[in-house]
Each structure stands twice: as C-alpha cells, then as structure tokens.
Chains A and B, each alone.
Chain A
Amino acid sequence: MSASLQSAAGTQPGLARIAGHVAAISGEVDRLLGIETEGAHTRADKLSQTLAEMRAMASLLAEMRAEVVGLAPPSSDLGDALDAVVSETEGAAFEILRQAERAQAAAGRLNRGETADPSTDLAEVDAAATSIVLACAFQDITGQRVRKVLSTLRQVEARVFVLVQMLGIRPEETQTQSGSRDPRSDAHLLNGPSSAAEGGLGQSAVDDLFG
C-alpha cells in the first residue's frame, strides 16, 4: 500500500475498508507470483494468464488509488465552514432578538405613556429596526459558505459512487455497516424537519390528528 493511501486511510476512517480491499488485492498478486506451474505444455498459458490477471489488478489498483486520492476534499475546512454557519446564524438570531426586544420595550413605554419624550422612544424603535435589517446580512455570508460545502460534498459523493461500483459493494452492505447506533430510545423517530413533499404535516393536520 502506498504511503499516501495509508495516510488517507488513517485520516478518514471510511477509507480503512478500501485500504483493506487494496491489501487483499496485493496479497492476491503475491499469491499469483508464487504460482507453481505444472507441465511444459501449460506453463506458457498459465504464465500468460497470470500476467493478464496481474495487469488487470494493477489497473484496478491504479484506478482505485486515483479515486481514493480524489476523495480528499479540495479543502479540509468543510466542518469549520459548517461550524461557522451554525455560529453565524446563532449570532444573527440573538442580535435580531436583542433588537426586537429593544423595540418592544420602547413600544411598551410609548403604549403605557411612560416616556417623557415620545420622539426618543420612536427613534429607539427606528434604530432597532435598522439593526435588524443589518443583522439579516448573515444570510448572504452563510449562504455562500453552505453552497461551497455543498459543491465539495457533491464531488465527494460522485467519487464515492464510482468507488462503490468499482468494489462491487451492494447497497445493503453500506446500510448495515454505517455509523454507530443512536442510543436514544426514539432515534427511529428523529426524522428532522420535513417538507410537505417529504410527508411533513402542517399545524392544521397535526391538530386534526390530536382531535
């Protein structure tokens, strides 16, 4: 196994199995190299057959290596980019809430007639609204980050698909071996947000179910 493949397998656990396949093929090549041929008649045929198999395996190994190398994302900051999105959206939401509460407080004072100078509280509401508008700029920044991550994920997905086909892995194998089990008793019910097309219900449909 090449040093780069060993390194890839070490840094990405998902590649460990591929590395195992490569090792198995290497072992097969070693076994073929040790084949004892029998009889002068068949020796040339067997050698020819062995060489053809070795060439096929070498070719497969080269293809797999290229795919594994291609699996490495162009940049290794995908997780950081998504962390930044979570952090930026949370920060923006807090800022918007803070400004909304500032406007609510000023509006409350105006409603209750507790303000000496109404123009001060009106200016407060106006300033809060402007801050909310500015805080919404997070969508542009986070949108760009998410689009970049999506683009990389699509590249990796396409290469994984090629590798899975190359190795002849059946879909049921990938399902049974993926990830560790969620210990929560209702893990099978944690679907996350669902659109109507995905079977998600609106509030009125939920109310109907609740009777």
Chain B
Amino acid sequence: MKILVVDDYPTMRRIVKNLLDQIGYKDVEEAGNGVEALEKIKVHRYDLVISDWNMEPMTGLELLKEVRADAGLSKTPFIMVTAESKTENVVAAKQAGASQYIVKPFTAETLKAKIASVVG
C-alpha cells in the first residue's frame, strides 16, 4: 500500500513514517505542505493520505477539498492528523470528507486502528 504523509514538520513526518514502518507499511512518501502534496497526488496514485492541517501555503483542509473535488482522486482515503481539536475543526473536516480524524499527540494504536478502519 502506497501512503503519502503530509506535514510541515520533518520531525512529525519521521514519527509517522516510523510508526507506519512498525505497522508494516514500507512504501511511504512525504510532502511538506498541501501544494506539494497535491502535485504528488496528481502524479502518483496513493492508497492513503495522512495529512496535518495547519500548513502553508495550502492547509490540510484545503488539500482535502481539492482531493475530494477531483473525480479521479475523490475516493482516496484521507486521514487528518492534527493538533486542531475543537468541535468546529472536527465538524469542518468531516463535512469536507475526511475519512478519519486523529488528534495530536496520538498513540501508535490510534494510528493503526484508524488506518485499518479506512483501508480495511
């Protein structure tokens, strides 16, 4: 399974990659913001996108909306992993079509469970 991890902090990308490696997912690529991620998503097909929210110039929510608006990409499972934990954030992400929502800091078990729930 090919996964794209999107986060503006290299440390967080490395943490997520490490956890994915432990779970057994080795085919993982990275992007530092929404713009970079969207370029990659349009070129490569990913089976799962795991994205942070607060990034510049394009946020994770904006990226999610772009992905959902593209007929060819709209079915891509998309997990938001973010420190934004207010009700309005969770509701906005759900309305935009997020497959799952993980609040930072999170555990390896949470990541594993959410991935399993969206990719089976």
Known: A97-B18, A185-B62, A186-B92. A209 touches B87 (CB 8 A): yes
Is A210 a contact of B86 with CB atoms below 8 Å? no
Whether B86 and A203, one on each chain, are in contact in the complex, defined by CB atoms closer than 8 angstroms, is no
Contact of B106 among A183, A201, A203 (CB under 8 A): A203
Which residues of A approach B to under 8 Å, CB–CB? 90, 93-94, 97, 100-101, 104, 183-186, 189-194, 199-203, 206, 209-210
* Cross-chain contact of B11 among A93, A201, A202, A203 (Cβ < 8 A): A93
Q: Across the interface, do B90 and A206 meet the contact criterion of CB distance under 8 Å? A: yes
Q: Contacts A97-B18, A184-B56, A203-B110 hold; do A210 and B94 have CB atoms under 8 A apart?
A: yes
The reply to whether B54 and A190 contact each other, CB–CB distance below 8 Å, is yes
Instruction: Please name all residues of chain B whose beta carbon is closer than 8 Å to the beta carbon of A183 when the two chains form the complex.
Output: 57
Q: Is the CB of A201 within 8 A of B87?
A: yes
Give chain B's interface residue range (CB within 8 Å of chain A): 20 to 34
- The residues of A that contact B100 with a CB separation of less than 8 Å are 210
27 A–B contacts from the bound complex (CB under 8 Å): A94-B11, A94-B14, A104-B18, A184-B58, A186-B62, A189-B84, A189-B89, A190-B53, A190-B54, A191-B84, A192-B54, A192-B83, A193-B83, A193-B84, A193-B85, A193-B104, A194-B84, A194-B85, A200-B103, A201-B103, A202-B103, A203-B102, A203-B110, A206-B101, A206-B102, A209-B94, A209-B101
Kindly report which residue of chain B lies nearest to residue A183, judged by CB atoms.
B57
Q: Which residues of B contact A185 (CB under 8 A)?
A: 59, 62
Q: Which 10 A-B pairs have the closest CB atoms?
A: A200-B85, A193-B83, A93-B11, A186-B61, A209-B90, A201-B85, A199-B86, A206-B101, A203-B103, A206-B90
A residues near B14, Cβ cutoff 8 Å: 94, 97
B73 proximal to A (CB < 8 A): no
Query: Judging by beta carbons under 8 Å apart, are B11 and A190 in contact?
Result: no
Rounded to whole angstroms, the CA-CA distance of A199 and B84 in the bound complex is 10
